[in-house]
Amino acid sequence: MEANASERKLLKTGTTTVGIVTKDGVVMGADQRATMGHLIAHKDTQKLFRIDNHLAMTIAGGVGDAQVLVRWLKSEVDLYKLKRGTEISVRAASTLMANILNQNKFSPFYVQLLVGGVDLEGNHIYSLDAAGGSIPDKFVTTGSGSVFVYGVLEDHYKDDMSLDEGLDLAVRGLTAAMKRDSASGDGMNVCTITRKEGYRQILKEDLEKRKKKLGLR
């Protein structure tokens, strides 16, 4: 990710994010490192955000732009629920964010986003670009470390994988990126979203246990 317009030439932060659809729900995650050139500027950067109990978003790109968009989407989702008495669908939330990005494409937000969650239609992950493109997929990864994650996802993803298998795959992919991409690192934030439990943040100690079980360093 990189900073807002006034800082963009000074601060750039690399990112690895991932979203995976499983038969039980979705898994989303991101690393925690922010860099400024060759300097590691922050080691606990939040790139995974709960939007609602059934919906989350990851960010890559301009820090200021991304934070504004997180607040914007959360406000719109809360307003939708207040007006209609029901939760917004994942597709509608993704389309809403895509429209916001598209309306500003000539003065774009410097971001690449993942919007994911569960609703009555199923389990979904959408990848959004700065011009407002919104593409659903079974698995997707963004940021400077994404090339390493895609190698893991392409090799291990299965259509009928369980939520636990999806967690293993997300942890394996993020770990691979943090080993090879110098702009990604310093731990990870991972969540699961299911119809039964909603949004659940995975504890750091549980992630470490999972890494140990998988034989990852």
- Positions marked catalytic: 15
Q: Give the whole-angstrom CA distance, residue 179 versus residue 184.
A: 8
Q: In which region does residue 122 sit, left (phi positive, over 0), alpha (psi from -120 to 50) or beta (all else)?
A: left
168 close to 215: Cβ distance less than 8 angstroms: no
135 close to 127: Cβ distance less than 8 angstroms: yes
Which among 44, 50, 41, 21 is positioned nearest to 31, based on CA atoms?
44
Burial (CB count within 10 angstroms: exposed 0-12, middle 13-18, buried 19+), residue 203: exposed
DSSP symbols for 23-64: SS-EEEEEE--EEETTEEEESS---EEEEETTEEEEEEEBHH
- Name the packing angle between helices 146-156 and 163-180 (round to 10°): 140
Helix/strand/coil for 177: helix
Q: Give the whole-angstrom CA distance, residue 130 versus residue 107.
A: 10
